[in-house]
Amino acid sequence: MHRSLIALALMTAATLGWADAREQLERFAENLETLSGEFEQVTIDDSGRVIEEVEGQLYFSRPDRFRWDYESPFPQQMVADGEQLWHFDESLDQVTVRDQPDAAESPLLVLTRPELLDRFYSIEDTGDDQVIQFLPLADDADFERARLHFRDEMPELLELHDQFGQITRIRLIRLQRNPEIDAEVFTFEPPPGVDVLEGY
């Protein structure tokens, strides 16, 4: 491939394409303090069959506070308050709580902290100037590789591929940069009567 000037030109163009996607990410995250939007999440097994579809609202506040409200088909809440991660499953009347994982374990935080790419991931060229592909450096990561897609300077889709051949696609909809978000959004109090499981 390197023997051909044409191949060299294509390789150079691909590298510049990746750089363009990275630049879009840097511009999106610059001066980002809060973020809100909607999401649609689909999980597909290794045979191409859809095994889960959920949708809801997402919120973020620098540095690492975030909240996911899963609205359908089964209401759930996932709240990271900067110290602990709370997961409330309404259908089970159950809350699990544990120490908030390191930022490296949340590929979505790459949206808000692009420097995580260089610290915790290996970046691979995709040949597409709208897509960044990154692989976790840790051996015990929950996914093998991730792809972040852009459209019109905004992140649009995050794809996670795991070691079992499953693909989770998180489509980001109507994202708003730096909206006003009440701090209470990132606090969680278990409702009376629910089971609280710690350390899970």
pLDDT score, position 20: 84
* CATH number of residue 113's parent domain: 2.50.20.10
3-class SS of residue 31:
coil
pLDDT score, position 105: 66
Among 82, 76, 80, 81, CA closest to 95: 76
Number of separate domains in the chain: 1
> Which residue positions in the chain have pLDDT lower than 50?
1-18
Structure tokens at 199: 């350390």
Per-residue model confidence as pLDDT tens digits over 153-168:
899 999 999 989 999 9
Instruction: Work out the burial of residue 40: count CB atoms within 10 Å of its CB; fewer than 13 is exposed, 13-18 middle, 19 or more buried.
Output: middle
Structure tokens at 70: 């899963």
The parent domain of residue 23 ranges over: 5-198
pLDDT score, position 113: 83
pLDDT score, position 107: 66
Residues 6+ apart with CB under 8 A from 26: 114
Strand residue runs (E) in 45-193: 50-61, 65-72, 76-80, 84-89, 94-99, 121-124, 131-136, 145-151, 154-161, 167-177
β-bridge pairing 121-124 and 84-89 = unpaired
Angle CA 177–182–186, to nearest 5: 90
Per-residue model confidence as pLDDT tens digits over 55-64:
999 999 988 8
3-class SS of residue 168:
strand
